[in-house]
């Protein structure tokens, strides 16, 4: 990759970080934080009791990290925004939070029983989604569970989001599904879900090669 491309990617992440630093709390107050509670319940049902879970793109820590911590899980959350991580630590003191770029996660192999990455991937260039999913696979224990969502159509561009510039970058669902399969996951569920009046593509998958598909 040439230097200009590297710098362009750094600039994109800088924009996303600074925008969420400025408007992330306001966005959180606006959003419907109950709209995917049923998907969180399904995630929990697939995890071992008191397991270790990574909330990749944790925002202010609610609803995902808080929900999981209240269920007795050992929760780690990461987000690119320093301000959101500060708020997450206040909102969910029983969890561990770190300011990290999801593209650069370096937790050891087999660190987690579950990884959830929702309402996040579309703020990362779609050319990197496959490598992120591969890294999720590396960080999961055997039979570990991955939950993620993306947009319904392939697209890439910038727009104003709560008054700040924001990247929106999606592969189409078939490409996302192929990336999950190629990473070595067994698909438990994949398909569009309409939650809170919004339609996104969701995937539930297990890091396993010797168990049959279980549709949820």
pLDDT at 8: 55
Does the model's pTM come out above 0.85? yes
The number of domains in the chain is: 1
Question: What's the CATH number where 152 sits?
Answer: 3.40.50.150
Mean pLDDT of 197-207: 97
Q: Which two tokens stand for residue 133?
A: 């999913």
Q: Judge whether 61 lies within some domain.
A: yes
- Asked whether residue 215 is assigned to any structural domain, the reply reads no
The pLDDT value given to residue 4: 43
Is 212 inside any structural domain? no
- Residue 214 counted as domain residue: no
pLDDT digits (tens, 9 = 90+) for 3-58: 344 345 568 999 999 999 999 888 888 888 889 999 999 999 999 999 999 999 99
- Domain range enclosing 190: 3-207
pLDDT, average across residues 84-99: 97
In this structure, what are the phi and psi dihedrals at residue 94, rounded to the nearest 5 degrees? -80, -5
Q: Assess if residue 46 is contained within a domain.
A: yes
pLDDT at 143: 95
Q: Tell whether the model's pLDDT for residue 130 goes beyond 90.
A: yes
Phi, psi for residue 68 in degrees, rounded to 5 = -70, -40
pLDDT band at 2 (very low <50, low <70, confident <90, very high): very low
Average pLDDT, integer, range 91-101? 98
Mean pLDDT along residues 150-175 = 95
Q: What is the pLDDT of residue 5?
A: 43
Secondary structure in 3-state letters for the chain: CCHHHHHHHHHHHHHHHHHHHHHHHHHHHHCCCCCCHHHHHHHHHCCCCCCEEEEECCCCCCCHHHHHHHCCCEEEEEECCHHHHHHHHHHCCCCEEEECCHHHCCCCCCCEEEEEECCCHHHCCHHHHHHHHHHHHHHEEEEEEEEEEECCCCEEEEEEECCEEEEEEECCHHHHHHHHHHCCEEEEEEEEEEECCEEEEEEEEEECCCCCCCCC
The structure tokens listed for 66 are 């808080």
Nearest of 161, 201, 17, 42 to residue 99 by alpha carbon: 17
At residue 209, the pLDDT reads 58
| pLDDT value, residue 29 | 84
Q: Decide if 216 is inside a domain.
A: no
| pLDDT greater than 70 at residue 101 | yes
213 within domain boundaries: no
In a domain, 83, yes or no: yes
Q: Which residue has the higher pLDDT, 34 or 89?
A: 89
69: which 2 tokens? 């911590």
Q: Sorting pLDDT into bands at 50, 70 and 90, what band is 1?
A: very low
């Amino acid at each position: 990759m040439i230097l200009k491309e590297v710098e362009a990617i750094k600039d994109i992440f800088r924009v996303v970080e600074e925008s969420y630093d400025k408007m992330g709390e306001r966005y959180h107050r606006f959003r419907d934080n109950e709209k995917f509670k049923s998907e969180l319940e399904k995630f929990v049902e697939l995890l071992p009791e008191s397991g270790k879970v990574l909330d990749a793109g944790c925002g202010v820590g609610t609803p995902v990290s808080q929900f999981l911590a209240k269920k007795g899980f050992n929760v780690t959350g990461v987000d690119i925004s320093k301000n959101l991580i500060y708020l997450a630590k206040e909102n969910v003191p029983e969890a561990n939070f770190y300011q990290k770029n999801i593209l650069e996660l370096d937790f050891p192999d087999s660190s987690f029983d579950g990884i959830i990455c929702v309402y996040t991937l579309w703020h990362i260039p779609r050319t990197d989604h496959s490598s992120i999913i591969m890294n999720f696979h590396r960080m999961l224990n055997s039979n570990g569970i991955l939950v993620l969502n993306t947009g319904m159509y392939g697209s890439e561009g910038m727009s104003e989001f709560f008054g700040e510039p924001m990247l929106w970058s999606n592969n189409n669902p078939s490409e996302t599904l192929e990336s999950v399969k190629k990473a070595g996951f067994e698909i438990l569920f994949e398909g569009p879900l309409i939650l809170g009046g919004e339609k996104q593509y969701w995937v539930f998958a297990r890091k396993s090669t010797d168990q049959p598909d279980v549709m949820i």
